[in-house]
Amino acid sequence: MLRRIVCSAPAAVLLLALFAASSAWAGMGQPTPGQMGLQGAASPVSTEIHTFYNFVNIIIVAIAVFVLLLMVYVMYRFNERSNPTPSRTTHNTLLEVAWTVIPILILVAIAIPSFRLLHLQYSYPKADVTIKATGYTWYWTHAYPDLGDFSFETRMLDDASREELIAENIPAPRNLAVDNEVIVPVNKVVNVLVTADPDGVIHDWTIPSFGSKVDAVPGRVTTTWFKPTVEGIFYGQCSELCGKDHAFMPIGVRVVSEETFAAWSEAMQAAKAAGTDARNEKDKTKRREKLREKKKLLKKAKEIIQEATLQQSGNRKLAEASAAKSQ
Ligand SMILES: [Cu+2]
């Protein structure tokens, strides 16, 4: 019996270690059915989080298995039947030093990569793109202060709008798909300044695949950064219990090529400029003309992203098909 338990222990360790490393099987940018580990890593911080998570998991599993085996051994070897006269020993210097020093060494081994990871998360590299995210009850606004300060609201799509997108072959997951995605260029450092409506409550701006998660506090600015390494869509949800529609204020970040980002941001900036011109225009006809121009530019920006979206979802489908073929 004991031998069987001891023999099955390595198998258990292997199984649990596989669970620990299962983040490699998880989807990228959104949760997948039956997912065990973290969402796929798509930024340097997220990659480090995965490494740390797997490392700590292995330590946890090893300790749990060691304690389990020790308990099984004690129950077998020192029960009343097999050990009727118990020893009276109370102290063992070597053992006492060992059970003090070994846990300290384990904690130090965990602390070093942990502090290294914290330092990576909170030392901000020079930003290529800055975004200001503001949490409202219950939606987000996203602004690009260095690019003419254009901004838009990000709200969750209802089922009817999702069906429309799905009919066009554009994936739109429930409770995650949004009307206006945050657009960022691939392989560029993105700094996100996060805050919340001064009259509102605390929210939390999160994208798991980027390892970004920071509270949005009214009247304060907090910061997170990421450098997306792959193109595609990355979803996150408000991660601070904020009230009635807490579960329905997702965030969608679409990572596109540098050229697509430049074209999109140019159209958005021009639209914002046209809107400002219209507001300052006294002449009614000219104002209407400016507003029409703004609408056209916004439509153009939307089309640029739609094109990129179609290409990305097509690419993903092709990749899936070739993966299925090679199996
Ligand atoms: Cu919230």
38 Cα–ligand 1 center, Å: 22
7 Cα–ligand 1 center, Å: 49
So what's the pLDDT on residue 24? 47
286 pLDDT above the threshold of 70: yes
Identify which of 251, 248, 253, 241 has the alpha carbon closest to the alpha carbon of residue 175.
248
**Among residues of the chain, what percentage have pLDDT more than 90?**
79
270 Cα–ligand 1 center, Å: 31
Provide the mean pLDDT of the chain. Answer: 90
192 Cα–ligand 1 center, Å: 16
Question: In Å, how far from its chain's centre is CA 231?
Answer: 15
197 Cα–ligand 1 center, Å: 11
- Which residues neighbour 78 within 8 Å (Cβ) at sequence distance 6 or greater? 86
So what's the pLDDT on residue 325? 60
1 pLDDT above the threshold of 50: no
- Judge whether 106 and 59 are in contact, CB under 8 Å: yes
| pLDDT per residue as tens digits for the range 19-67 | 555 444 567 899 998 888 899 999 999 999 999 999 999 999 999 999 9
Q: In which residue are the tokens 């060494």 written?
A: 105
Identify which of 163, 167, 174, 181 has the alpha carbon closest to the alpha carbon of residue 260.
181
| pLDDT per residue as tens digits for the range 229-252 | 999 999 999 999 999 999 999 999
143 Cα–ligand 1 center, Å: 18
10 pLDDT above the threshold of 80: no
157 Cα–ligand 1 center, Å: 16
The arithmetic mean of pLDDT across residues 1-28, rounded, is 54
161 Cα–ligand 1 center, Å: 22
246 Cα–ligand 1 center, Å: 5
323 Cα–ligand 1 center, Å: 38
So what's the pLDDT on residue 323? 58
Distance between CA 35 and CA 211 in Å, rounded? 17
139 Cα–ligand 1 center, Å: 8
So what's the pLDDT on residue 227? 97
Q: Which amino acid is at 53?
A: Y
| pLDDT per residue as tens digits for the range 147-175 | 999 999 999 999 999 999 888 888 899 99
115 Cα–ligand 1 center, Å: 28
| pLDDT per residue as tens digits for the range 79-118 | 999 999 998 989 999 999 999 999 999 999 999 999 999 9
216 Cα–ligand 1 center, Å: 8
250 Cα–ligand 1 center, Å: 9
The arithmetic mean of pLDDT across residues 190-198, rounded, is 97
So what's the pLDDT on residue 221? 97
Greater model confidence, 112 or 10: 112
202 Cα–ligand 1 center, Å: 7
Radius of gyration of the chain (CA): 27
Structure tokens of 74?
Answer: 């004690």
Strand partners, 233: 254
- Per-residue pLDDT band at 220 (split at 50, 70, 90): very high
So what's the pLDDT on residue 13? 52
Distance between CA 169 and CA 176 in Å, rounded? 16
CB atoms under 10 Å from CB of 232, counted, come to 22
DSSP-derived 3-state class of residue 125: coil
103 Cα–ligand 1 center, Å: 39
